[in-house]
Amino acid sequence: MGSLVNKRILLGVTGGIAAYKSADLVRRLREAGAEVRVVMTDAATEFITELTLQAVSGYPVHRHLLDPEAEAGMSHIELARWADAILVAPATADFLARLVQGRGDDLLATLCLATSAPMAVAPAMNQQMWRHPATQQNVDSLRHRGVQIFGPGEGSQACGDVGPGRLLEPAELAQLTAGLFQTGVLDGVTVMVTAGPTWEAIDPVRGLTNKSSGKMGYAIATAAAEGGARVILISGPVSLTPPDRVETVPVVSAQDMFDAVHARIDQIDLYIGVAAVADYRPVSVAPHKLKKTADSMNLELVRNPDILASVAALPSAPFTVGFAAETNDLEMAARHKLEAKRIDLVCANLVGGDEGGFGADENRLLLVDREGTTELPLAAKSRLARDLIHHISRKFHAKNRTQDTRRAHRR
Ligand code: PMT
């Protein structure tokens, strides 16, 4: 089963009697670990109050497309970008029809147009309306576009009819929503991810390190696990909770990371080096805290091993992905790393600016390989990680197919 831990779910509530179940749905999603923001259509407010959904979600409800106050806080585009997934429950026949048409005449419909996140709708309506060919055609066309259809259930309805059209129960909807993140793109693959900074000790209390928080690497490890992979995360010192269903190996220095990587590298099909590994370490570590005696001091440094290059140079190297943290000339630097380290793909990001990079919750990436470049625009690191895992899985499977074909020709 998938997990909703740390997932950002945008719940759209449209105007049907089943809207009264939305409060319980928000509660279930939050209990499963998700952060939930609610968007209501005008009609939904006839069935359940904004205040109720604000109280259970812990955030103000979003309602209007052209609301200067809301746009100054989290604009509709930011909200669409914020969501890891959109669930519309209940979804009325009218809303399904508007979604099919790609209408942008209220906030919820606009968000559905403006997002690239996975989307699901949980239809709820009278059984006759559900069976109507127009509704069935709409549902087919949404399914065709990749929208997941949750339900509806069957049984007695608020209007007295019996048949299909009931909103699924909140517990089941929460479970199905978790399943949205299970992509299966890396089923059967073993992935190693390195994350966070390294700490190069100077003495027992001081050391050389950098500002990596581990967020990007942890998000990638999570996305790989959601893709069905077995994941080993080699993590420098960070203050993040180890992701679910990921074997996390804590390390401190670059040499520790090198050793932990190579101790397990024979099991690995795909290596993703996200860690900000210190290039140098002090030649020696003082056994006791250094005293402040002289006005200046010299620290002699020695090169650390390059973990990424060492993995790529193995005779049966895994598919190898590296990161490049640059302050300028992103593509040029990425191409240089691609060739110098002889790796399969470089994910380049700008660091040291106002957005993205070290410590931030969002990032943007330029993916560079021998076939070209792909831009992944600014998004939450969790979203970006999922898009990146999709991209990497396509490249990984394509390379394996080519190698299989070559092997078959040689036989
Ligand atoms: O952790 P966050 O706060 O979320 O920030 C994310 C990040 C900015 C740290 C991440 O997106 C990133 O860019 N990671 C790589 C940082 C880095 O050290 O880049 P680099 O250009 O110095 O190194 C290039 C590649 O070589 C990296 O894949 C790195 O893991 C690897 N390397 C570097 C040195 C070394 N001795 N061994 C290595 O394996």
Mean pLDDT of 109-117: 92
- Looking from the CA of residue 341, the nearest atom of ligand 1 is 26
DSSP characters over 240-272: SPPPTT-EEEE--SHHHHHHHHHHHGGG-SEEE
Other beta carbons less than 10 A from residue 58's beta carbon: 11
Distance 228 CA to ligand 1 centre (A): 25
Please tell us whether the domain made up of 190-286+297-405 is placed in CATH 3.40.50.10300. yes
Q: Which residue has the tokens 């670990």?
A: 33
- pLDDT over 90 at 177, yes or no: yes
- Looking from the CA of residue 309, the nearest atom of ligand 1 is 39
Q: Is 212 in the pocket of ligand 1 (CB under 6 A)?
A: yes
Report CA torsion sign: 278, 283, 289, 290: negative
Distance 63 CA to ligand 1 centre (A): 41
Q: Is 216 in the pocket of ligand 1 (CB under 6 A)?
A: yes
| Lowest-confidence pick of 49-53, 80-84, 320-324 | 80-84
Distance 384 CA to ligand 1 centre (A): 16
Digit-coded pLDDT (tens) for 273-308: 999 999 999 999 999 999 888 899 899 999 999 999
- Looking from the CA of residue 238, the nearest atom of ligand 1 is 1
Digit-coded pLDDT (tens) for 203-256: 999 999 999 999 999 999 999 999 999 999 999 999 999 998 899 999 999 999
Q: Is 215 in the pocket of ligand 1 (CB under 6 A)?
A: yes
Gap between the Cα atoms of 73 and 194, Å rounded: 35
Intrachain domains 8-179 and 190-286+297-405 with the same fold: yes
Q: Is 348 in the pocket of ligand 1 (CB under 6 A)?
A: no
Q: Is 333 in the pocket of ligand 1 (CB under 6 A)?
A: no
Distance 275 CA to ligand 1 centre (A): 5
SS3 94: helix
Rounded to 10 deg, the angle between the 50-57 and 22-31 helix axes is: 10
Between vectors from CA 34 to CA 33 and to CA 40, what angle results, nearest 5°?
145
pLDDT, residue 160, reads: 86
| Burial (CB count <10 Å: 0-12, 13-18, 19+), residue 136 | exposed
Note if 159 is an active site residue.
yes
- Give every strand in the sheet of 190-195, ordered side by side: 247-250, 230-235, 190-195, 270-273, 319-326, 345-350, 362-369, 372-380
Residue 130: in which H helix or E strand, if any?
A: helix 127-131
**Residue from 213, 308, 310, 367 to probe ligand 1 pocket by mutation (most atoms less than 8 Å from CB):** 308
Distance 266 CA to ligand 1 centre (A): 22
b/e string for 276-287 if b means 16 or more Cβ within 10 A?
bbbeebbeeeee
**Residue from 200, 209, 210, 212 to probe ligand 1 pocket by mutation (most atoms less than 8 Å from CB):** 212
- pLDDT over 70 at 329, yes or no: yes
- Looking from the CA of residue 196, the nearest atom of ligand 1 is 1
Looking at mean pLDDT, say which of 3-7, 63-67, 180-184, 314-318 comes out highest. 314-318
- pLDDT over 60 at 1, yes or no: no
Mean pLDDT of 129-133: 96
Of 55, 159, 205, 332, which residue is the catalytic one?
159
- What homologous superfamily is domain 8-179 in, according to CATH? Flavin prenyltransferase-like (3.40.50.1950)
Residue nearest to atom 27 of ligand 1 (CA): 323
Domain ranges in the chain? 8-179, 190-286+297-405
